[in-house]
Amino acid sequence: MTPPVVVTIAGTDSSGGAGIAADLVTFAALGVHGACVVAAVTAQDTTGVRAIHPVPYDVVVAQLDAVLDDLDPVAVKTGMLATPEVVRLVAERCADRLLVVDPVLVATSGAVLATDDVREAYRADLLPVATVATPNEAEAAALGLIAGPGVVVTRGGPVPTTNDHGTGCTYSSALAAHLALGADVATAAERAAAYVSHQLTLGKHWTLGRGRGPVAHVHAPTQGENP
Protein backbone atom coordinates (compact mmCIF):
# COMPACT_ATOMS: atom_id res chain seq x y z
CA MET A 1 0.00 0.00 0.00
CA THR A 2 1.40 3.39 -0.99
CA PRO A 3 2.03 5.52 2.12
CA PRO A 4 0.68 9.06 2.38
CA VAL A 5 3.19 11.86 1.81
CA VAL A 6 4.00 14.47 4.45
CA VAL A 7 6.35 17.37 3.70
CA THR A 8 8.34 19.27 6.29
CA ILE A 9 9.25 22.88 5.58
CA ALA A 10 11.91 23.66 8.15
CA GLY A 11 15.57 24.16 8.95
CA THR A 12 18.46 21.75 9.13
CA ASP A 13 20.18 20.79 12.37
CA SER A 14 23.85 19.89 12.05
CA SER A 15 23.66 17.84 15.26
CA GLY A 16 20.93 15.65 13.78
CA GLY A 17 18.59 16.06 16.73
CA ALA A 18 15.99 18.56 15.58
CA GLY A 19 14.59 20.22 12.47
CA ILE A 20 14.36 18.31 9.21
CA ALA A 21 16.53 15.47 10.58
CA ALA A 22 14.02 14.80 13.37
CA ASP A 23 11.04 15.22 11.07
CA LEU A 24 12.13 12.75 8.39
CA VAL A 25 13.07 9.95 10.78
CA THR A 26 9.79 10.42 12.66
CA PHE A 27 7.80 10.25 9.43
CA ALA A 28 9.60 7.04 8.48
CA ALA A 29 9.06 5.47 11.89
CA LEU A 30 5.33 6.14 11.73
CA GLY A 31 4.78 4.84 8.22
CA VAL A 32 4.47 7.93 6.02
CA HIS A 33 6.74 9.08 3.22
CA GLY A 34 8.62 12.24 4.14
CA ALA A 35 9.56 15.00 1.71
CA CYS A 36 11.40 18.16 2.69
CA VAL A 37 11.80 21.83 1.84
CA VAL A 38 14.85 23.44 3.45
CA ALA A 39 13.99 26.96 4.61
CA ALA A 40 17.10 27.56 6.71
CA VAL A 41 20.49 26.03 7.40
CA THR A 42 21.64 26.16 10.99
CA ALA A 43 24.92 25.46 12.71
CA GLN A 44 23.96 23.97 16.05
CA ASP A 45 24.87 21.31 18.52
CA THR A 46 23.54 20.04 21.82
CA THR A 47 24.63 23.24 23.57
CA GLY A 48 22.82 25.71 21.31
CA VAL A 49 22.46 27.44 17.95
CA ARG A 50 25.65 28.96 16.56
CA ALA A 51 24.43 30.42 13.26
CA ILE A 52 21.31 30.60 11.06
CA HIS A 53 21.37 31.04 7.27
CA PRO A 54 17.96 31.56 5.62
CA VAL A 55 17.75 29.82 2.24
CA PRO A 56 17.07 32.32 -0.60
CA TYR A 57 13.36 32.78 -1.21
CA ASP A 58 13.40 31.62 -4.83
CA VAL A 59 15.15 28.39 -3.83
CA VAL A 60 12.50 27.73 -1.16
CA VAL A 61 9.78 28.35 -3.76
CA ALA A 62 11.44 25.95 -6.22
CA GLN A 63 11.67 23.21 -3.59
CA LEU A 64 8.04 23.67 -2.57
CA ASP A 65 6.87 23.65 -6.20
CA ALA A 66 8.75 20.41 -6.81
CA VAL A 67 7.12 18.65 -3.88
CA LEU A 68 3.58 19.98 -4.32
CA ASP A 69 3.49 19.45 -8.08
CA ASP A 70 4.89 15.92 -8.09
CA LEU A 71 4.14 14.24 -4.75
CA ASP A 72 0.88 15.99 -3.72
CA PRO A 73 1.43 15.68 0.07
CA VAL A 74 -1.56 15.03 2.30
CA ALA A 75 -0.06 17.01 5.16
CA VAL A 76 2.46 19.80 5.65
CA LYS A 77 4.51 20.34 8.79
CA THR A 78 6.45 23.56 9.36
CA GLY A 79 9.44 24.25 11.54
CA MET A 80 11.92 27.11 11.25
CA LEU A 81 10.72 29.27 8.35
CA ALA A 82 13.28 32.04 8.97
CA THR A 83 11.70 34.92 7.02
CA PRO A 84 8.24 36.53 6.83
CA GLU A 85 8.19 35.95 3.08
CA VAL A 86 8.48 32.19 3.56
CA VAL A 87 5.84 32.25 6.31
CA ARG A 88 3.43 33.94 3.88
CA LEU A 89 4.43 31.55 1.08
CA VAL A 90 3.43 28.55 3.19
CA ALA A 91 0.14 30.23 4.13
CA GLU A 92 -0.66 30.87 0.47
CA ARG A 93 0.39 27.49 -0.96
CA CYS A 94 -0.47 25.03 1.81
CA ALA A 95 -3.75 26.24 3.30
CA ASP A 96 -5.71 23.57 1.42
CA ARG A 97 -3.86 20.69 3.11
CA LEU A 98 -3.58 19.35 6.63
CA LEU A 99 -1.20 21.93 8.08
CA VAL A 100 0.73 21.48 11.32
CA VAL A 101 2.49 24.69 12.31
CA ASP A 102 5.33 24.38 14.79
CA PRO A 103 6.18 28.09 15.14
CA VAL A 104 9.90 27.92 15.81
CA LEU A 105 10.46 31.27 17.51
CA VAL A 106 12.13 30.50 20.84
CA ALA A 107 14.36 27.50 21.58
CA THR A 108 13.93 25.50 24.77
CA SER A 109 17.24 27.05 25.84
CA GLY A 110 15.65 30.50 25.57
CA ALA A 111 17.47 31.50 22.38
CA VAL A 112 15.37 33.77 20.15
CA LEU A 113 15.15 32.25 16.66
CA ALA A 114 12.81 34.66 14.86
CA THR A 115 12.43 38.41 14.35
CA ASP A 116 9.37 40.53 15.10
CA ASP A 117 8.29 40.57 11.44
CA VAL A 118 8.37 36.76 11.34
CA ARG A 119 6.20 36.59 14.46
CA GLU A 120 3.74 39.02 12.91
CA ALA A 121 3.56 36.96 9.70
CA TYR A 122 2.70 33.91 11.81
CA ARG A 123 -0.07 35.78 13.58
CA ALA A 124 -1.53 37.47 10.51
CA ASP A 125 -1.05 34.87 7.79
CA LEU A 126 -0.08 31.34 8.82
CA LEU A 127 -1.83 30.55 12.09
CA PRO A 128 -5.30 31.46 10.74
CA VAL A 129 -5.01 28.71 8.09
CA ALA A 130 -3.32 26.05 10.25
CA THR A 131 -5.07 22.80 11.11
CA VAL A 132 -3.20 22.79 14.43
CA ALA A 133 -0.30 24.74 15.96
CA THR A 134 2.23 23.23 18.38
CA PRO A 135 4.09 26.08 20.09
CA ASN A 136 6.15 25.62 23.22
CA GLU A 137 5.14 27.75 26.19
CA ALA A 138 7.42 30.67 25.28
CA GLU A 139 6.20 30.66 21.67
CA ALA A 140 2.56 30.51 22.75
CA ALA A 141 3.14 33.55 24.94
CA ALA A 142 4.94 35.42 22.13
CA LEU A 143 2.06 34.75 19.73
CA GLY A 144 -0.74 35.30 22.22
CA LEU A 145 -1.99 31.72 21.86
CA ILE A 146 -3.86 29.65 24.39
CA ALA A 147 -4.42 25.91 24.38
CA GLY A 148 -7.54 24.81 22.54
CA PRO A 149 -8.78 22.56 19.71
CA GLY A 150 -6.36 24.11 17.21
CA VAL A 151 -3.45 24.79 19.55
CA VAL A 152 -1.45 22.18 21.45
CA VAL A 153 1.05 23.86 23.78
CA THR A 154 4.07 21.60 24.26
CA ARG A 155 6.08 21.49 27.45
CA GLY A 156 8.70 18.92 26.62
CA GLY A 157 8.29 15.29 27.49
CA PRO A 158 7.07 13.72 30.75
CA VAL A 159 10.21 11.59 31.00
CA PRO A 160 12.98 12.84 33.31
CA THR A 161 15.94 13.16 30.95
CA THR A 162 18.54 15.61 29.68
CA ASN A 163 18.30 14.03 26.22
CA ASP A 164 15.40 16.06 24.87
CA HIS A 165 16.86 18.13 22.04
CA GLY A 166 14.34 17.98 19.19
CA THR A 167 11.34 17.05 21.32
CA GLY A 168 9.12 19.75 19.80
CA CYS A 169 10.05 18.86 16.22
CA THR A 170 9.49 15.18 16.89
CA TYR A 171 6.11 15.82 18.47
CA SER A 172 4.81 18.05 15.68
CA SER A 173 6.05 15.72 12.93
CA ALA A 174 4.47 12.73 14.69
CA LEU A 175 1.20 14.65 14.92
CA ALA A 176 1.37 15.46 11.19
CA ALA A 177 2.07 11.81 10.36
CA HIS A 178 -0.96 10.61 12.32
CA LEU A 179 -3.17 13.24 10.70
CA ALA A 180 -1.99 12.03 7.29
CA LEU A 181 -2.89 8.48 8.31
CA GLY A 182 -6.45 9.54 9.04
CA ALA A 183 -6.59 10.42 12.74
CA ASP A 184 -8.44 13.49 13.95
CA VAL A 185 -6.50 16.24 15.72
CA ALA A 186 -7.22 15.03 19.27
CA THR A 187 -6.26 11.44 18.48
CA ALA A 188 -3.18 12.49 16.51
CA ALA A 189 -2.04 14.70 19.39
CA GLU A 190 -2.47 11.84 21.87
CA ARG A 191 -0.59 9.38 19.68
CA ALA A 192 2.20 11.89 19.03
CA ALA A 193 2.63 12.43 22.76
CA ALA A 194 2.85 8.69 23.35
CA TYR A 195 5.46 8.33 20.60
CA VAL A 196 7.61 11.13 22.04
CA SER A 197 7.38 9.65 25.54
CA HIS A 198 8.55 6.29 24.20
CA GLN A 199 11.50 7.82 22.36
CA LEU A 200 12.52 9.93 25.36
CA THR A 201 12.49 6.82 27.53
CA LEU A 202 14.56 4.96 24.96
CA GLY A 203 17.34 7.55 24.93
CA LYS A 204 17.30 8.87 28.50
CA HIS A 205 20.64 7.23 29.40
CA TRP A 206 22.49 8.21 26.22
CA THR A 207 25.64 10.29 26.38
CA LEU A 208 25.72 12.27 23.13
CA GLY A 209 27.22 15.75 23.09
CA ARG A 210 28.14 18.15 25.87
CA GLY A 211 24.69 19.69 26.33
CA ARG A 212 21.14 18.44 26.12
CA GLY A 213 21.35 15.34 23.97
CA PRO A 214 18.89 14.43 21.22
CA VAL A 215 15.62 12.63 21.73
CA ALA A 216 16.11 9.08 20.45
CA HIS A 217 15.40 8.69 16.75
CA VAL A 218 16.20 4.99 16.43
CA HIS A 219 13.94 2.00 16.09
CA ALA A 220 14.29 -1.68 16.80
CA PRO A 221 15.02 -3.79 13.73
CA THR A 222 11.97 -5.54 12.34
CA GLN A 223 11.95 -9.23 11.51
CA GLY A 224 14.36 -9.94 8.68
CA GLU A 225 16.54 -6.88 9.28
CA ASN A 226 20.09 -7.14 10.57
CA PRO A 227 20.35 -6.07 14.22
For the chain, the residue count is 227
pLDDT tens per residue, range 29-76: 999 999 999 999 999 999 989 999 999 999 999 999 999 999 999 999
Q: What share of the chain is helix, strand, coil (3-state, %, to 5)?
A: 40, 20, 40
Q: What is the mean pLDDT of residues 160-189?
A: 95
Structural domain contains residue 224: no
pLDDT tens per residue, range 128-171: 999 999 998 888 988 998 887 789 988 666 688 999 999 999 99
Structural domain contains residue 216: no
Structural domain contains residue 223: no
Number of structural domains, the chain?
Answer: 1
Q: Which residue has the higher pLDDT, 155 or 190?
A: 190
Residues 131, 80: Cα–Cα separation, whole Å: 18
β-sheet bridge partners, residue 77: 8, 100
Residues 40, 11: Cα–Cα separation, whole Å: 4
Structural domain contains residue 190: yes
pLDDT tens per residue, range 107-120: 666 667 788 999 99
Give the H or E element holding residue 5.
Answer: strand 5-11
Please give the residue range of the domain that contains residue 14: 5-202
Instruction: Average the pLDDT over each of 2-11, 153-162, 172-181, 194-203 and give the range with the smallest value.
Output: 153-162
Residues 46, 167: Cα–Cα separation, whole Å: 13
Structural domain contains residue 51: yes
**Residue 172: CATH number of its domain:** 3.40.1190.20
110-113's contacts with Cβ under 8 Å and 24+ in sequence apart are: 110/138, 111/48, 111/49, 113/49, 113/52, 113/80
Residue 174: closest CA among 206, 207, 139, 219: 219
